[in-house]
Amino acid sequence: MTSKLDFMTSSSGLSRRHVLKGAAAAASVAGFGGLSRLALADSPLKGESLHLSILGIAGWVPSSLGVKMSPIFAEYAKQKYGYDVDFSFADAPFSALFQKAATSLATRSQEYNIIISDSQWLGAFAKPKWVVKIDDLLKEQPGLTPEWYSPVISATYQTYPDGSQQLWGLPQEGDVVALYVRKDMLEDPAEKEAFKKKYNKDLPQTFDDFAELTMAEFEKVAEFFTRPDKNLYGTAMQYSREYDFISCFLYPFMWSRGGEIWDPKTAQVHGILNSKVNAEALEQMKHWLKYMPDGALNYGIAEEIDVFTQGKVFSCFQWAAVGPAMIPDALKGKVMVVPPPKHGNGSDAKRVYTFGGQSWVINAFNDENNMQATIDFMRWWYQPDVQLEYAKRGGNPCDKATLSRSDFDDMQPWFRTYKYMLAEGRSRDFWHHPKYAEMLSVQQEAFTSFMTGQTSDPMKVLDYVACKQQSILFEAGTAKEKAPDTCASISL
Amino acid sequence: MQSNRSGSPASRGLLAAMHPTGQAGLTARFFALLNDRRFLPLMLLTPVLVFFIIWNTIPLLWLLGLSFQKYSLTSGDDPAFTGFANYLEILGNSSVWQDLSRTFVWVFLSVVLQTGLGVALGFLFWGSHKLPGRRIALTLLFAPMVLTPVATGTFFRLIYDPTFGILNQVIRAIGLPSVDFLGQSSTAFWAVLAVDTWMWTPFLMLMTLAALGSVPKAELEAAEVDQLPWHQRLRLIILHHGKFILMLGVLLRTIDSFKTMDLVLQMTKGGPGSTTNLVALTLYRQSFESFNLGWSSALAVILLLISIAFTSIFIFVLNLKRRGDAA
Amino acid sequence: MSNLRQTLYHALLWLISLLFFSPVAWLMLSSFKGRNDILAVPAKLVFTPTLDNYVQLFERNGFLQQLLNSFIMSVAAVIVAVVVSFLAAFCFSRFKPKGTDFLMFLLLSVRMLPGTAVILPVYLMYVAFGWKDSHAALTLFYAMFSIPFSVWILKGFIDGVSLRFDETGLVNGASWWHVIFRVVLPQVRPGLIAAFIFNMIFVWNEFLFDYIIGGRKTANVPVALATGAYADGGVDWAFVSTLSTVYLLPPIIAIYVFQRYLLVGMTFGTVRGEV
């Protein structure tokens, strides 16, 4: 009833509501004066009581931060716009989030009004038009989003198809691969001396030391700390078949050595992925297993956190996003987060690691009220003080204002590395294609099959993946070329 | 009163003869219908049939129809008829064949292992009526069967873990090197099989106990008196009465084993490589991760046909046995 | 059997039971440990038990709702299934309509279908009918799931009830319904309980369907476990073990209380010896 009354009394609201038809049109809340003093009177939702539901990634710090901060928005909305809003949350693990969202969105349901999506899912959400097209929204809502820290932010968290101007998501959490190292072990005088004696070199000590470090040099450090009799190992990476785990940690080996995974323009995979460089990358990654605990072949995000926080490894290649979990109270001050090493030698040495991170995507089937509240939420989310609060709680913001603050680097142990790895060229994302799941599943199977010895020839593994992905992309109508005939008989 | 009556004079008379008022007469007629021997069987079956049609026939027809279409939920395109294209693709897809053969090995090993162990345990517990705390012992024994498979899968990851797992700690304690059970392609399959066996051996033991329970005591006592050799007792008395239940247990286990999905999903996601990728998982992934609904439907139809073949063989055998029982 | 042999025999039986139970015991033990104790190497058998995990579990957002969902949906589904199955089983047993064998086979075939194969069309159907995330729709699906086996068990039991009971009742003027519910039903109680318990175990632990055709409102505990197993990036072992322990208790108690019925039930009413 309240909504009807409101509807009748506010003539501006009336005209607005007529405009709002369907999802795309909902974006056209013309001239919404969220920032003006008159905002309170102007909000079409004034006096309403709303309920929003967010679907996020289970057990993922940044997702739960978004959730934990929502009561602040509720208060803000009450004061500024004069409506009540409360939130409910659902979550699913990485590998299941899209299916949870997709099975619901396919019913045109509003079960989840806002979804936190891994960046690679953008295509799969966008193609069936399940989510709001953000560039249309931005035309109607200028100033909704702030200036991003770097152009890669938009390319990674917003754009589908790759290289186009179409935006489908809003950056929620920026994320990069970082190297977590045990500072207390590095600074131990006995260790320093022993290392010097053994390798005639100094143990790297500072952020800058690590920024210059190559994999070959880091290998010595990892070897040095590998002491199976003491149940301590040099490092850990992710080799698990689950979701994208092994892929994200194999790509740096490929990209940093000059390998490519596809040509985004022609969607050509065959002949590009199955290259000699990439075969070497596979072998290199397998080689590193000897500095890791026995279970490393099964490591994903969670397992790495377990071994690192329980002191079983000296270092860990891990997402910056799980900083709060990697550095619990017991390890505060004992951990340093640094850029992961470069690949190659001398001046040719390069580091190109993988982007992680998630976007907000907005359910296109939200009704007018929910859509309005969602837009209010987004506008609030990107305010500098909210982003600052997010950063202080351990989230990785993407806006220029927050990242450019002079105190940003020291706000969290991993922030300096996060910012460093955000710089153009140091991190990359991979396909934002609707066929993401299928392409990923093929290579997760093939890569783990190589790492665990089920298949021994790296080239065969890459040929297999290239053939399968080429034909997936061709069938989807994206790739121009068919998989070559040699693919017909290929198997792992 | 009079005005309430309905129907022709003749029927009114008949009704009036049965009951003084028409209202009650209608009710009575309704009850008579309910109690009519001609309609009763249909009435009794109707609820089951309704369930069967709504939750079985309709979905299956839907599935069949979809299997001839190209339809991807995430493409945004409408389904398009492609004839047998999906079936042909599957039949020519070597990884599906690999998954299928792996699944057959899985079914064979799990059924043989669990039946062997379950039957052995069933016989062992047969004479255990004097066991102190028997009810508690059996409850403990049945616990693996009722622990949520999701929990089993997740928790066994911890048990198997080379660094923190209790199993590897035991192995190290007796002086052997620890094993990365779920991480190596040589061990993962067996490690998952072991958990499955742990979960379902109690079920076959339960069926064995039930089968033994259906053996008449008198016949066993007579065999004791006649000093019949054990293999004859087994064949002539125990199997004669118990084989139906036992076979049903094996059948149920075969079917369920063919369907194994959540355990593998929780423990290994089918990896490492494809070493534990059972065909039910492939189907799940193609339907709800890749959303290739047409292709998945075709695979589902193929799996249904295989299941029905399984069952038919078992039922055929069971029927023969039952006929044998009756004779 | 000599005393010593009997003692050894009993010891062996207990050993086997405990061996099978040991992983469950380890899980239960973990639920009283803090995170560091769970991951401790060497494993801790002696530790300071804590109830924190339980307190946290019950304070968890939505947990009670999920527990209630599990409980209501599985009990309702199995009751519906048992009633429906009993009627059908009576029909099959007493009237042997044409095609009884075929129908029985058809019913059993429901249970053979791989869940992953059925879920796809069921999902699409639920979407089309607007049934997704509805308690009733999910419950009725579970009921369907439980019907085949219940029919099989109950038919066995009803076969075992002599026809004379029916005849006596009918001759004395009782209706068929009286015979069905007042004469036959009480005699097949073990079968009803067995069917109830057996299907309960499956529905109670069901994950896939609740996950796909359920939703936020209807999530049950296995779904909560699968989605909630991760916290702050790591596997929340305390949550996994505590939730599993809590969730295991009802079926364990049921097995203890109704053990005899479970064993008798599986004989399909043909019990002639000791179970």
Q: Out of A38-47, A246-255, A276-285, A380-389, which region has the weakest mean confidence (pLDDT)? A: A38-47
Q: Please check whether residue A422 is in contact with residue A357, taking contact to mean a CB–CB distance below 8 angstroms.
A: no
- Taking contacts as CB-CB distances below 8 angstroms, the residues of chain B near A453 are 184-186
pLDDT of residue C272: 65
pLDDT of residue B9: 44
pLDDT of residue B153: 93
Per-residue pLDDT tens over the stretch A72-125: 999 999 999 999 999 988 888 888 889 889 989 988 889 899 999 999 999 999
Q: How far is CA A4 from the centre of its chain?
A: 42
More confident residue, A53 or C105: A53
DSSP state of B90: H
| pLDDT at B10 > cutoff 70 | no
- Taking contacts as CB-CB distances below 8 angstroms, the residues of chain A near C235 are 302-303, 306
A295 touches chain B (CB under 8 A): yes
Per-residue pLDDT tens over the stretch C219-274: 999 999 988 888 766 788 999 999 999 999 999 999 999 998 888 888 777 766 66
Q: Please check whether residue B247 is in contact with residue C268, taking contact to mean a CB–CB distance below 8 angstroms.
A: no
H-run or E-run covering B45: helix B40-52
Confidence of residue B1 (pLDDT cuts 50, 70, 90): very low
Q: How close does chain C come to B21, measured CA to CA in Å? A: 22
Extents of the domains making up chain C:
60-265
DSSP state of B72: B
Tokens 């004779």 -> residue: B327
Q: How close does chain A come to B286, measured CA to CA in Å? A: 8
Is the domain spanning A177-355 CATH 3.40.190.10? The answer is yes
**Test mutation, A445, A447, A463, A472, chain B, max B CBs within 10 A:** A445
Provide the domain limits for residue B176: 85-326
> Per-residue pLDDT averaged across A318-325, rounded?
94
- A127–B75 C-beta distance less than 8 A: yes
Interstrand relation of A353-362 and A427-428 (parallel, antiparallel or unpaired): parallel
Q: Which tokens sit at A153? A: 């932010």
A92 touches chain B (CB under 8 A): no
| pLDDT at B17 > cutoff 80 | no
By C-alpha distance, which of A305, A367, A303 is closest to A180? A305
- A492–B269 C-beta distance less than 8 A: no
- B151–C225 C-beta distance less than 8 A: yes
Q: Please check whether residue A104 is in contact with residue A97, taking contact to mean a CB–CB distance below 8 angstroms.
A: no
Query: Which chains touch A (3+ CB pairs under 8 A)?
Result: B, C
- C105–B210 C-beta distance less than 8 A: no
Interface of B with A (CB under 8 A): 73-76, 94-95, 98, 157, 161-164, 168, 178-180, 182-186, 188, 268-275, 277, 285, 288-292
Extents of the domains making up chain A:
2-175+356-428, 177-355
* Interior angle at CA C130, CA C124 and CA C133, nearest 5: 90
- Taking contacts as CB-CB distances below 8 angstroms, the residues of chain B near C102 are none
A60 touches chain C (CB under 8 A): yes
- Closest CB from C115, C119, C237 relative to B158: C237
Q: Please check whether residue B193 is in contact with residue B102, taking contact to mean a CB–CB distance below 8 angstroms.
A: no
- The residue of chain B nearest to residue C85, with distances taken between CA atoms, is B48
Per-residue pLDDT tens over the stretch A141-168: 988 999 999 999 999 999 999 889 999 9
Q: What distances in angstroms separate CA C49 from CA A190, B75, B231, C25, C35, one per listed residue?
A: 38, 53, 52, 14, 12
Is B33 a member of any domain? no
Q: pTM of whole model > 0.95?
A: no
- C234–A59 C-beta distance less than 8 A: yes
> Per-residue pLDDT averaged across B141-166, rounded?
92
- B76–A240 C-beta distance less than 8 A: no
- Taking contacts as CB-CB distances below 8 angstroms, the residues of chain C near A302 are 230, 233-235
CATH of the domain at B147: 1.10.3720.10
For residue A268, what are the β-bridge partners? A263
> Regarding the domain with residue range C60-265, which homologous superfamily does it belong to in the CATH classification?
MetI-like (1.10.3720.10)
Please state, in angstroms and rounded to a whole number, the distance separating the CA atoms of residues B5 and A129: 62
Length of chain A: 492
Residue C84: CB atoms within 10 A of its CB come to 24
* Count of structural domains, chain B: 1
pLDDT of residue B322: 58
C265 touches chain B (CB under 8 A): yes
pLDDT of residue C32: 95
- B307–C109 C-beta distance less than 8 A: yes
Please state, in angstroms and rounded to a whole number, the distance separating the CA atoms of residues A231 and A228: 5
Can you say whether the dihedral through the CA atoms of A345, A346, A348, A350 is positive or negative? positive
Confidence of residue A301 (pLDDT cuts 50, 70, 90): very high
ipTM of the modeled complex: 0.90
Q: Which tokens sit at C247? A: 């969730």
> Regarding the domain with residue range A2-175+356-428, which homologous superfamily does it belong to in the CATH classification?
Periplasmic binding protein-like II (3.40.190.10)
Interstrand relation of A353-362 and A315-319 (parallel, antiparallel or unpaired): unpaired
- Closest CB from A127, A240, A241 relative to B74: A127
C91 touches chain B (CB under 8 A): yes
Residues 185-204 of C with CB under 8 A from B: 201, 204
- Closest CB from B162, B188, B274 relative to A445: B274
pLDDT of residue C101: 84
Q: How close does chain A come to B246, measured CA to CA in Å? A: 38
| pLDDT at A4 > cutoff 60 | no
Burial of A345 (0-12, 13-18, 19+ CB in 10 A): exposed
Q: How close does chain A come to C45, measured CA to CA in Å? A: 18
More confident residue, B304 or C15: C15
> Per-residue pLDDT averaged across A32-37, rounded?
38
- Taking contacts as CB-CB distances below 8 angstroms, the residues of chain B near A434 are 74-75
> Is cis: bond before B272, omega within 30 of 0?
yes
**Test mutation, A100, A115, A414, chain C, max C CBs within 10 A:** A100
Tokens 């005699």 -> residue: C187
Question: SS3 for C128?
Answer: helix
* Interior angle at CA B106, CA B103 and CA B111, nearest 5: 130
Question: SS3 for B292?
Answer: strand
> 3-state SS string over chain A?
CHHHHHHHHCHHHHHHHHHCCHHHHHCCCCCCCCCCCCHHHHCCCCCCEEEEEEEEECCCHHHHHHHHCHHHHHHHHHHHCCCEEEEEEEEECHHHHHHHHHHHHCCCCCCCCEEEEEHHHHHHHHCCCCECCHHHHHHHCCCCCCCECCHHHHHHHCECCCCCCCECCEEEEEEEEEEEEEHHHHHCHHHHHHHHHHHCCCCCCCHHHHHHCEHHHHHHHHHHHCEHHHCEECCCCCCCCCCCHHHHHHHHHHHHCCCCCCECCCCECCCCCCCHHHHHHHHHHHHHHHHCCHHHHHCCHHHHHHHHHCCCECEEEEEHHHHHHHCCHHHCCCEEEECCCEECCHHHCECCEEEEEEEEEEECCCCHHHHHHHHHHHHHHCCHHHHHHHHHCCCCCCEHHHHCCCCCCCCCCCHHHHHHHHCCCCEECCCCCCCHHHHHHHHHHHHHHHHCCCCCCHHHHHHHHHHHHHHHHHHCCCCCCCCCHHHHHCCC
Confidence of residue B12 (pLDDT cuts 50, 70, 90): very low
Confidence of residue A263 (pLDDT cuts 50, 70, 90): very high
